[in-house]
Each structure stands twice: as structure tokens, then as C-alpha cells.
């Protein structure tokens, strides 16, 4: 039986098909969910918020998207413990919507960075990265201008103590607090990361390390 | 100045052109007609200085489904797949406001592609800047690169290849050329811009019309009236987010067959789209300018017709399909407003609050635009006498270091790191390689995109430089296993009213054309950018090109750097031609060269090379380019795998042409190349790959050190852009 | 020491892409917004002989760096 995965689409989402194909590759069944529509959470086994520039990233990255009707349904799903995975702009949206701690600020170098990087797993996730082992290294690209993870020192300690850090950068490219590349909520069902595992599925992409983030 | 002179100056029309208009109309032009003729008879829209030459271009092949005459050219890839592609310049706007100029350049070229019904899958850009220390240059480089990234990244199309050049001739006139490639799958229709069907509706979609770019053509005429401040051209602002919505909505209505014809509002906005669509379809159009959605209610009919506001499209729609069409646009948050209808014609009639203000035959204004045979001289290359290249002198290592530290030989990573090269999850090779590669969605084959034109070759010899703009990138495709299919170009030249410029133009076009014919790779789209001249100083002639190539599979794609230890390294050298090139320029020497190119068998060479590039015989490959063989080997040694070179060939002379390959299977490679029986081709084993170090003559340098030199040059050139 | 505020807005005739996007979202949430413009506000602390001198300094800074006068306008105000 294959998982049904809802993939959210905002105007300006541009990694929607990339995520769709990665979910399909993993053997699950993806369905697009339009930002203006609410949805019935019971129809799905999990959700992905893909990357892009929802609403052009105006005001703040992810800020306008966090107010879309579909996000109300996603909040319900989060409360009910459904697995939710955000990538890149999806991470920003989940932070703006209050489903994940912290915020994402302009990169320390102030410029957009597209680069192959290495990340290290800190904690696995029950659906998106079940087979990831602690300290396991993965290669995949980052592509963002607003990827500097920010939390207060107290909050950072709380996140670390509660094993909410999902993955960290081996060499911090953007000035993120605690080298954090990905983080989970306290209940560990909502998870998101700035690097793009869906761009590292096949060897011809330069790396296939992203497979483990989609395969259950 | 008389009233007529003032008018001619404002509308940038020549006295002879005015006489021609009078003859065509049988009277004086009036009202809005001035603005229409000004826009459509401008060099930019009418190609009046280049048309007689462009007509001779080799532009057809069995694969070509659409050549010049539409928004972009289309090539059939077989297996139900097709691509549309085109390259265009945005030089002047980028010099005025680099961020918005470059961004709107990307936006414009993307619209040319999705207007045809193709989904954009790749972007490329060709940039020429002045010397790094020239006035404003850091600001221009910074703004252009951020603008390209800001638009392309947001709209979600990967930038997969590009070139950045520097030379003093661009100090006051930079070049920003953008190319886009779009994809048609089996079920995707091709849409054209020919208006048809009397009674069909003219529908305006996308952004509202503002003051953007109005009177751009008459910038120099501030003293026209007291309100000149208000008439100053307003910088066009690009909104990639809006463009993304427009792409999705337009592709959806085309796929659902809700559109009869479609064209984007590019240069000269509503004027060119309306008149060209009517002219192509041999129909008339009635249009109510008061129904055009406005951002600024004070716009006059002339402003509306000339506005170059971005992210707007004009489409023709069957009235029965209007409702479903509007529903699609509404779903994407966009308006679709009916502003007119298709008529029997022949005239286009423009109304303003029910009043008929213009009534004119589109043929008069589109097809009867002037065509000039500008004076030029026959070009004779001074480099046809055979001679052997001069021996390298001095310390090889020192010269190599000088090259790597210069703006010409250093890394461009600072530039392309700001571009999203992988959105779409289909990129196999990014901007760090000469050939960008994306996977074709339905067949899984590989599409290669490469840019051409080496400005220093153009400065040496415009005719050979034109040839080189095709041959060099074609070899780069072939050695990676891509069959070169077709070409787009962006012909950046100086003032065509100068004999010198036209001589360069004709020579370059001739060189390009003969090369395209030899390779059977037609030129199917592009644009001409004349008047790249500031204070009477012309740019170096720069006919940039974009070539697309097809590879039957993704597997065995050679790398452009050495990857394995103990492989044999070979050079494949075509003929005897060479040039001293960039290094001579850096040393303020007049370059020497021998350019009498042997064409016999070259097409076969490219074909054989394409086959070799898909076999497993080649592990890594590179076409020797600027600075010659040693620089190519250096680039191949940056990743940690180096080479030991034993043979003593020229190190810095640029051979035309030479390819370096490394192989695990030397006997099979030799056998294969011998089987081609190409007399002009010389195969030579020059050394072996080895770990960590490049060794040749007095050069003995660790990969790591080379890499440091290569990467540090940018910071040294642009202190504030680190 | 003077505290000078610089209010930077897109020129009236120039398209404000950010304002349009924020406005669209506000409307879709049901707020009655006719138009929306988004700009920047910069606060400068300036050593100066007089308020007029400080304002002149701020104007120079704005023209030189803070504001792209091709596409933006700015207003200077003294802050308490």
C-alpha cells in the first residue's frame, strides 16, 4: 500500500514538480493541493511544502504564503501528528506559519547561493528520513538567498536538548545558528530543511544522497 | 528648429522615412500615427539595417519546424519532443539600471519562449563587461548578476550555462544577452502569433499598463515641452512572480485549446503585438484603448500604445471560449480583459472612448518598413598566409600565474553561484562546465546548451571570429556527445551608419553562415543589436551565439576535468591554424595568426566526435580555447586529479582547433580515431593523469595551488564584490 | 547628534512589485485595500553642526547610496 502525499502549491512555488517526481520515485502517491483550497487531512498520509518563491518572496520569504487557506488545513494536520516535510521555501513558510521554531534570514554573505554542500544527520524523522543514521553525511545542493536559520540562544539550546535538530551543515554556508540546515517541531512530526534532497535523486544530478529523505 | 524637425527628432524618424510615410499614406501622418511609425520603423523592430543580410542566413533543416518570423525558433528532437529557443540583447537598459535591465531581459526572453507554448527549461547568459577598474563597472557587474539571478531563480528556470568577458571596448557599453530554451512534450501544442477568425476577441492578459519605457526611443528629447520631466522614460520593472503566474496560466489555456493566437508585448508593447498579429493573419483589428487595464489613469492613447510595461500578453480567443479562458487566468490571480476584436480588415482601427483615433493598414506600417543597404567593404583576412606559431618564451609558470590571476583566466564562480542552476531537478551539468546539460522529461535523453563568440577572436578577424562563434561551441557540444542541431544568435555591433561597423557585420555574418552550412546547423532565431556605441566609440563586434545539441542518453557523459588516475591523455588537432589571442592582447602585443581553415572533412570530424563523446572511450574532454593547451590542462586539473605532460607542443598559442581527451582504453581510442581516415586530423598522446599535480616543462604545481589561484582572481579584480 | 529618518518609496510611476503582491494577498484575505505600496525606512544618526547640516548630510547619503533615484524617491525627516 503506497502512502498518499499531499504536495502544496502556492503561486510562485517552483519546485512543485521536482518534489512530485521525487515522491513518486519513492513509491508514494503524490497529489497537488492548491493554496486557495482547504483540504481534508484524513485523505492523506503526509504532506510536503516544496521550495520556490511563493508570492515572489515579497515582504518576507514565506510570509504571504503562511496566510493561505490551505495552510489552515495544514495546521490541523500538524496538530493531529501527520508527517509534514518542508524544503527550502517550504521551510520558510512553515516557520512563518509558526509550525516550526525560528526564522530564516538573508544569508550572511547577503547573496543567493547555489552550491553542492554536505550535511550531517542529527536525528531521523518518522516518515521523511526514517533510515537516516546519526552523523550520516549527505551531498546535495542548496539554492537560496534567505537560508540563515535564526533562533534565540535559549531557543537553540531547547531545540538541541530536545533532539529537534534534523541536520546540520558540515561547512556553514550562510551563517545559520548552530549550523542548522534542518529542524523539527517539538512533536517531531513537522520537519524542514534548506538543502534540496529532491535535486539529488539520480547519479546524473551529481549525487543520489537525497533518496533517503523520501524513501520510507 | 521647425515643427517638423522637432517631430522627426522626437519620433526618431529620418527625413527620407518621413517622405516614404507621406507616399504610403498619400498624406501627412497624423496623431497617433507618428508614434506607431516611430516604434515599428525603429531599428529594433524593423531590422532596417540588417534585413538585407539576414535574408541570406542558412535557416532551414529537416528538423526545423519554425525559423525566423515568430517569437522563437523551434526544432524537432524526434520521439514527439520539440524545443523552442532564442537569444536576445538587453544592453542599453542594463547600462542605465543594471538590476532591472538584466532582470527584464530575462523576463522578455522567457515570454518569447512560452508564447510559443513551450515550457521554459533552461536559461543561459552571455555578458561582456569593461575593465574591472572602469567607472561604475563594479556596480554594473553586481547589478546585472543579481538581476539575472533575481528573475531566473524566482521564476524557477535554471541557468545552466553562461560566459563573462571583459574588455575596454565595453567600458561604456556593456552587453547583456540572455537565451532561453523551452520544451514541448508529445501533448503540447505549438502556438503562433497569426491573428485569425473574424469576430474573435482580442484579449489582454497580465500586468496593467504603466508608464514603463514610454518614449524610450526618444530619450534625448527632453526639451520637447515643459512637461519633459514627466515624459522621461520610466525604468521598466520586472516581476518574476507575476511572470511565473503568466507562464502557468498561458501554458494552461494553450494546452486546453482556448487560444487562437498569442504574442507577448515586448519592444514597442501593444503597438508591435497588435500590428504584427494583424499583418501576419491578414486581418484587421478594432481595439478600444480605453479598455486597456491601466496602472496610471493619466496615460494617453500614445502612452498606452508605446508602454513597455513587463509581463503582458495579447491573445486572440474565440468568444465561445472566453469564459473558460478567463476562469484559468482568474485561478492564477490574473485578469484577462477583452479590448477588441478581429475584423475583416484590412485596417487596424484604434478607438478612444468610442472615438476612432487611428485607422491604418498594418501592411503599410509593418511590411513597408524601410530596408537599407548600408555601405560596407569586402573583408579580406590578413591572416591567410601559412606560418608556424612562434615558440613560447620566458617562464611558463610565471605566464600561467599571470593568466590565472587576470580577469580573463580566473574563475567565474562568484557569478554563477548566484544563479539557481538546478531548479527543475533536471540539470546534469551546470555553469561550471562549458556545456550546460538538462534531461529531457519524456524521453530521458540529454539536451546540451552552449554559448559561442570569443570577443578576442572577433577583434583579431571578424570573419574568422564569426566562423569561430559557430565552430568552437559546436566542437564543445560534439566532444560531450551532443549533435549540434541549431543556432540562435545575438548580433551586437556598433553604429551601422559607419562603414567600418557594416564591414564587420557582413564579414562576421558571412563567417557564421558558412560554418552553419558546413555543419548543417541552421540559425533559426535571434536579434540584432546595433548602435552599441558611446561617445563615437564602438564595441568590439560581438555576435554571440547559442547552440543546442542532442545526446541519445544521459550515461557516459564525459567530465571536463580529470577524474581518474593513470589515464592516457591525447590531443586531437585539426589542421594547422592558430592564433596568439588573449595573451598577446594582455601583453599589448599585436596578435599573430594563421587562419586559412581547412573545411574539407570538418563536418565528418564533428559527427565522429559526437559518436566518440557518447561511447565509453572518453572519460574527460575539453576543447582547447583561450590561452591554449596549458590553460585547458590546468582547468582539467583543478579538482584534485592532475597530469604529467611529456610532449612539447605550444603551451599558450591557441590552436584552431584542438581537443584534449583522457581515456582508460588507449588502444581502442587510437583504433577508433584512425578508422575515421581524416587526413587533416592529428592524434597525439601527450601524457598521463596523475594525482594532485600538474607537471609540464618548468610547471610543477599542486592542483590545490592552481585552484587557489583560479578562485582568488575575482576578489583581486573586484574588491567590493567578494 | 541628530537622528534622521529616510523614507524610501518606489516612484509613483514605477511598478511596485512588492506592494502589488502584498495587496493581492490582503485582498484575498478579505481586507478592503484599494492599493498597497511597500518601501523602506532608514534611521541615521549623524554628527552635525545644525539640524540643517545633518539633513543635508542625510540627503547626500540618500542620493549616493540609500535610494536609487531612477526608481525610488525619498523623504528626509528629523526624528526626536
DSSP B260: S
What pLDDT does residue B221 have? 31
CA distance A62 to chain C (A): 12
Confirm whether B44 is a catalytic residue: yes
Q: What residue has cell string 503597438? A: B271
Cis peptide bond prior to B657, omega within 30° of 0: yes
C18 touches chain A (CB under 8 A): yes
Closest by alpha carbon to B256, among B322, B206, B196? B322
| Spatial distance between the Cα atoms of B195 and B282, rounded to a whole number of angstroms | 8
- The DSSP code for B482 is P
Find the CB nearest B417 among A12, A14, A114: A114
C21 touching B, CB under 8 A? yes
A201 to chain B, closest Cα gap in Å: 9
Q: Are C61 and A69 in contact (CB under 8 A)?
A: no
- Single out the catalytic residue among B14, B53, B90, B368: B90
pLDDT digits (tens, 9 = 90+) for C34-73: 889 999 999 999 988 899 999 999 999 998 888 888 788 9
- Among A36, A58, A67, the residue with its CB nearest the CB of C21 is A58
Please tell me which chains touch C, using 3 or more CB pairs under 8 Å as the contact test: A, B
| Closest listed residue to residue B145, CA positions, set B420, B493, B430 | B420
Quick one: cell of B32? 497617433
Spot the catalytic one: A88, A95, A125, A144.
A88
Gyration radius (Cα) of chain A, Å: 15
Cβ(A210)–Cβ(A85) under 8 Å? no
pLDDT of residue C67: 85
B369 contacts B46 by C-beta, under 8 angstroms: yes
In B463-513, where do the E strands start and end? Answer: 483-492
Q: Which chains would you list as touching B if contact means 3+ CB atom pairs under 8 Å?
A: A, C
- Joined together, the cell numbers standing for residue B536 give 563615437
Q: A72 touching C, CB under 8 A?
A: no
- How far CA A89 is from CA of A177, A192, B65, B266, in Å, comes to 18, 10, 39, 31
In sequence order, the 6+-apart residues with CB closer than 8 A to the CB of B319 are B199, B200, B201
* Residues in chain A closer than 8 A to C24 (CB atoms): 55
Contact residues on chain A for B244, CB-CB shorter than 8 A: 11-12, 14, 53
Q: What residues of B are in contact with residue A15 (Cβ under 8 Å)?
A: 156, 423, 425
One digit per residue, the tens of pLDDT, for chain A of length 216 reads 589 999 999 988 999 999 999 999 999 999 999 999 999 999 999 999 999 988 777 777 788 888 889 999 999 999 999 999 999 999 999 999 999 999 998 898 889 999 999 999 999 999 999 999 999 999 999 999 999 999 999 999 999 999 999 999 999 999 999 999 999 999 999 999 999 999 999 999 999 999 999 987
C-alpha–C-alpha distance, residues B252 and B328, integer Å: 7
Asked if A59 lies within 8 A of C18 by C-beta distance, the reply is yes
Tell me which DSSP letter residue B209 carries.
B
Neighbours of B67 (CB within 10 A): 18
Closest C-alpha to B230, from B245, B244, B214, B246 = B214
d(CA A96, CA B18): 60
Find the helix or strand (DSSP H, E) in which A7 lies. Answer: strand A4-9
**CB A181 within 8 Å of CB A169:** yes
- Which neighbouring-strand residues pair with B359? B349
Residues of C in contact with B207 (CB under 8 A): 15
Gap between the Cα atoms of B141 and B394, Å rounded: 34
The DSSP output letter for B135 is: T
- Omega of the bond leading into B346 within 30 degrees of 0 (cis): yes
Interface of B with A in 306-365 (CB under 8 A): 332-333
The closest alpha carbon to A88, from A169, A143, A36, A11, belongs to: A143
Q: Hey, which chains touch A, using 3+ CB pairs under 8 Å?
A: B, C
User: What is the per-residue pLDDT for C68?
Assistant: 81
Output the pLDDT for position B226. 42
Q: Considering only CB atoms, which chain B residues are within 8 Å of C14?
A: 210-212, 234-235, 237
Q: Which residue, A67, A71, A12, is CA-closest to A47?
A: A71
Does A67 participate in catalysis according to the annotation?
A: no
Residues of B in Cβ contact (< 8 Å) with A22: 425
Note whether C71 contacts B212, CB cutoff 8 Å.
no
Cβ of residue A56 closer than 8 Å to a chain B Cβ: yes
Quick check: B212 and C14 CB within 8 A? Answer: yes
In 3-state terms chain A splits into helix, strand, coil percentages (rounded to 5) of: 30, 25, 45
Contact B232/C at CB under 8 A: no
Q: CA-CA distance, A51 to A62, in Å (whole number)?
A: 10
Q: What is the DSSP letter of B212?
A: B
User: What is the mean pLDDT for each group of 10 consecutive residues in chain B (722 residues)?
Assistant: 86 91 92 92 90 93 92 96 97 92 96 96 98 94 96 96 96 96 97 95 95 64 39 78 94 96 91 94 96 92 93 96 96 93 94 94 91 95 92 86 95 96 96 97 97 97 97 98 98 95 97 96 95 87 98 95 96 94 92 92 96 96 96 94 87 94 97 96 96 91 94 89 76
Candidates A34, A63, A64: best to mutate against C (most CBs of C within 10 A) is A64
The Cα–Cα gap between B683 and B676 comes to 11
pLDDT of B225 = 40
Query: What letters, b where the CB count within 10 A reaches 16 and e where it falls short, cover B309-320?
Result: bbbbbbbbbeee
**Given pLDDT bands bounded at 50, 70 and 90, which one contains residue C17?**
confident
Please tell me if residue B554 touches chain A, with a CB cutoff of 8 Å.
yes
Q: Which long-range contacts (CB under 8 A, 24 or more apart) does A38-42 make?
A: A38/A69, A38/A70, A38/A72, A38/A73, A39/A6, A39/A70, A39/A73, A40/A73, A41/A73, A41/A76, A41/A77, A41/A80, A41/A82
Q: Are B130 and B174 in contact (CB under 8 A)?
A: yes
Compute the distance between CA of residue B324 and CA of residue B172 in angstroms, rounded to an integer. 50
Cβ–Cβ gap B425/A141 under 8 Å:
no
Q: How far apart are CA B609 and CA B595, in angstroms?
A: 22
Does the distance separating the beta carbons of B237 and C17 come in below 8 Å? yes
| Interface contact C22-A59, CB threshold 8 A | yes
Burial class (CB in 10 A: 0-12, 13-18, 19+), B198: exposed
Q: Supply A133's cell numbers.
A: 543514521
* Residues of C whose CB is below 8 A from A56: 17-18, 21
Q: Is A95 a catalytic residue?
A: no
Q: Whose CA is closest to A142, among A98, A99, A172?
A: A172
Residue in chain B lying closest to A141 (CA): B422
Based on the number of CB atoms within 10 Å of its own CB, is B387 exposed (0-12), middle (13-18) or buried (19 or more)?
Answer: exposed
Backbone angles phi, psi at B707, to 5 degrees: -60, -45
* Cβ atoms B293, B337 nearer than 8 A: yes
Average pLDDT, chain C: 89
**What pLDDT does residue B216 have?**
59
Residues in B touching A88 (Cβ below 8 Å): none
**Across residues C3-20, what is the average pLDDT?**
88
Does the beta carbon of A128 lie under 8 angstroms from any beta carbon of chain C? no
pLDDT, residue A109, reads: 87
* Beta-carbon separation of A53 and B554 below 8 A: no
Amino acid at each position: 500500500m503506497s502512502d498518499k502525499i499531499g504536495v502544496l502549491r502556492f503561486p510562485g512555488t517552483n519546485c512543485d514538480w521536482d518534489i512530485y517526481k521525487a515522491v513518486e520515485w519513492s513509491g508514494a502517491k503524490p497529489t497537488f493541493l492548491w493554496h486557495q483550497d482547504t483540504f481534508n487531512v484524513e485523505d492523506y498520509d503526509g504532506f510536503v511544502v516544496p521550495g520556490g518563491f511563493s508570492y515572489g518572496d515579497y515582504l518576507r520569504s514565506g510570509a504571504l504564503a503562511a496566510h493561505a487557506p490551505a495552510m489552515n488545513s495544514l495546521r490541523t494536520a500538524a496538530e493531529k501528528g501527520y508527517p509534514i516535510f518542508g524544503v527550502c521555501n517550504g521551510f520558510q513558510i512553515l516557520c512563518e506559519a509558526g509550525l516550526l521554531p525560528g526564522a530564516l534570514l538573508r544569508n550572511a554573505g547577503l547573496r543567493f547561493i547555489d552550491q553542492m554542500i554536505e550535511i550531517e544527520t542529527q536525528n531521523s524523522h518518522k516518515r521523511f528520513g526514517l533510515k537516516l543514521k546519526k552523523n550520516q553525511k549527505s551531498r546535495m545542493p542548496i539554492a537560496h538567498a534567505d537560508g540563515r536559520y535564526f533562533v534565540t540562544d535559549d531557543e537553540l539550546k531547547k531545540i538541541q536538548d530536545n533532539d529537534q535538530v534534523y541536520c546540520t551543515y558540515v561547512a556553514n554556508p550562510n551563517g545559520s545558528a548552530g549550523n542548522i540546515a534542518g529542524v523539527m517541531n517539538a512533536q517531531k512530526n513537522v520537519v524542514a530543511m534548506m538543502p534540496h534532497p529532491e535535486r539529488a535523486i539520480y547519479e546524473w544530478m551529481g549525487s543520489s544522497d537525497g533518496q533517503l529523505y523520501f524513501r520510507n | 528648429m521647425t515643427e517638423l524637425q522637432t517631430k522627426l527628432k522626437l519620433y526618431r524618424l529620418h527625413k527620407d522615412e518621413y517622405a516614404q510615410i507621406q507616399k504610403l499614406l498619400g498624406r501627412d501622418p497624423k496623431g497617433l500615427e507618428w508614434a506607431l511609425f516611430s516604434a515599428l520603423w525603429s531599428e529594433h523592430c524593423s531590422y532596417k539595417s540588417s534585413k538585407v543580410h539576414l535574408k541570406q542566413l542558412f535557416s532551414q533543416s529537416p528538423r526545423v519546424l519554425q525559423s525566423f518570423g515568430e517569437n522563437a525558433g523551434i526544432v524537432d528532437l524526434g520521439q514527439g519532443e520539440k524545443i523552442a529557443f532564442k537569444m536576445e540583447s538587453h544592453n542599453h537598459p542594463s547600462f542605465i539600471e543594471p538590476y532591472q535591465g538584466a532582470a527584464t531581459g530575462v523576463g522578455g526572453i522567457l515570454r518569447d519562449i512560452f508564447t510559443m507554448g513551450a515550457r521554459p527549461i533552461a536559461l543561459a547568459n552571455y555578458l561582456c563587461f569593461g575593465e574591472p577598474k572602469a567607472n561604475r563597472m563594479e556596480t554594473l557587474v553586481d547589478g546585472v548578476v543579481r538581476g539575472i539571478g533575481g528573475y531566473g531563480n524566482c521564476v524557477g528556470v535554471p541557468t545552466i550555462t553562461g560566459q563573462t568577458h571583459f574588455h575596454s571596448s565595453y567600458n561604456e557599453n556593456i552587453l547583456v544577452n540572455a537565451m532561453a530554451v523551452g520544451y514541448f512534450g508529445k501533448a503540447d501544442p505549438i502556438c503562433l502569433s497569426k491573428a485569425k477568425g473574424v469576430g474573435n476577441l482580442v484579449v489582454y492578459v497580465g500586468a496593467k499598463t504603466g508608464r514603463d519605457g514610454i518614449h524610450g526611443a526618444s530619450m534625448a528629447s527632453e526639451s520637447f515641452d515643459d512637461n519633459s520631466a514627466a515624459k522621461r522614460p520610466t525604468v521598466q520593472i520586472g516581476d518574476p512572480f507575476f511572470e511565473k503566474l503568466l507562464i502557468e496560466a498561458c501554458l494552461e489555456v494553450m494546452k486546453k485549446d482556448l487560444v487562437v493566437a498569442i504574442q507577448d508585448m515586448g519592444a514597442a508593447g501593444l503597438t508591435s503585438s497588435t500590428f504584427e498579429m494583424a499583418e501576419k493573419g491578414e486581418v484587421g483589428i478594432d481595439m478600444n484603448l480605453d479598455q486597456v487595464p491601466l496602472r496610471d489613469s493619466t496615460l494617453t492613447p500614445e502612452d498606452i500604445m508605446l508602454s513597455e510595461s513587463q509581463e503582458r500578453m495579447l491573445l486572440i480567443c474565440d468568444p465561445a471560449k472566453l469564459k473558460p479562458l478567463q476562469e484559468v487566468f482568474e485561478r492564477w490571480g490574473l485578469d484577462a480583459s477583452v479590448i477588441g476584436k478581429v475584423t475583416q480588415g484590412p485596417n487596424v482601427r484604434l478607438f478612444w472612448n468610442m472615438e476612432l483615433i487611428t485607422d491604418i493598414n498594418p501592411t503599410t506600417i509593418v511590411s513597408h518598413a524601410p530596408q537599407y543597404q548600408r555601405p560596407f567593404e569586402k573583408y579580406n583576412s590578413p591572416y591567410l598566409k601559412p606560418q608556424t606559431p612562434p615558440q613560447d618564451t620566458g617562464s611558463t609558470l610565471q605566464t600561467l600565474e599571470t593568466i590565472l590571476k587576470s580577469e580573463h583566466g580566473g574563475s567565474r564562480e562568484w557569478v554563477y553561484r548566484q544563479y539557481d542552476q538546478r531548479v527543475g531537478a533536471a540539470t546534469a551539468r551546470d555553469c561550471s562546465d562549458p556545456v550546460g546539460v538538462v534531461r529531457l522529461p519524456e524521453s530521458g535523453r540529454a539536451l546540451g546548451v552552449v554559448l559561442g563568440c570569443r570577443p578576442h577572436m572577433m577583434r583579431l578577424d571578424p570573419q574568422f571570429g564569426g566562423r569561430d562563434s559557430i565552430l568552437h561551441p559546436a566542437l564543445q557540444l560534439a566532444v560531450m556527445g551532443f549533435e549540434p542541431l541549431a543556432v540562435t544568435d545575438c548580433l551586437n555591433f556598433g553604429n551601422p551608419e559607419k562603414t567600418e561597423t557594416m564591414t564587420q557585420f557582413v564579414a562576421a555574418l558571412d563567417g557564421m553562415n558558412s560554418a552553419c552550412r558546413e555543419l548543417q546547423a541552421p540559425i533559426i532565431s535571434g536579434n540584432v543589436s546595433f548602435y552599441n556605441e558611446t561617445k563615437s566609440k564602438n564595441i568590439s563586434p560581438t555576435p554571440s551565439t547559442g547552440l543546442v545539441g542532442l545526446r541519445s542518453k544521459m550515461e557516459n557523459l564525459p567530465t571536463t576535468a580529470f577524474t581518474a588516475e593513470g589515464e592516457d591523455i591525447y590531443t586531437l588537432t585539426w589542421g594547422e591554424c592558430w592564433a596568439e589571442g588573449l595573451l598577446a592582447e594582455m601583453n599589448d602585443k599585436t596578435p599573430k595568426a594563421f587562419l586559412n581553415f581547412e573545411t574539407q572533412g570538418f563536418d565528418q570530424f564533428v559527427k565522429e566526435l559526437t559518436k566518440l563523446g557518447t561511447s565509453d572511450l572518453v572519460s574527460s574532454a575539453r576543447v582547447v580555447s583561450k590561452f591554449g593547451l596549458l590553460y585547458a590542462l590546468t582547468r582539467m586539473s583543478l579538482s584534485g586529479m592532475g597530469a604529467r605532460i611529456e610532449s612539447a607542443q605550444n603551451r599558450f598559442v591557441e590552436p584552431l582547433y584542438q581537443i584534449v581527451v583522457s581515456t582508460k582504453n588507449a588502444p581502442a581510442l587510437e583504433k577508433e580515431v584512425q578508422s575515421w581516415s581524416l587526413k587533416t586530423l592529428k592524434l597525439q598522446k601527450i601524457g598521463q593523469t596523475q594525482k594532485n599535480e600538474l607537471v609540464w616543462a618548468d610547471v610543477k604545481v599542486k592542483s590545490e595551488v592552481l585552484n587557489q589561484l583560479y578562485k582568488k582572481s575575482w576578489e583581486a579584480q573586484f574588491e567590493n564584490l567578494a | 547628534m541628530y537622528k534622521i529618518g529616510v523614507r524610501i518609496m518606489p516612484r509613483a510611476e514605477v511598478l511596485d512589485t512588492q506592494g502589488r503582491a502584498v495587496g493581492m494577498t490582503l485582498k484575498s484575505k478579505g481586507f478592503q485595500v484599494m492599493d498597497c505600496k511597500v518601501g523602506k525606512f532608514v534611521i541615521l544618526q549623524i554628527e552635525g553642526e545644525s539640524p540643517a547640516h545633518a539633513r543635508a548630510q542625510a540627503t547626500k547619503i540618500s542620493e549616493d547610496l540609500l535610494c536609487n533615484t531612477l526608481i525610488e524617491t525619498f523623504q528626509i525627516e528629523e526624528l526626536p
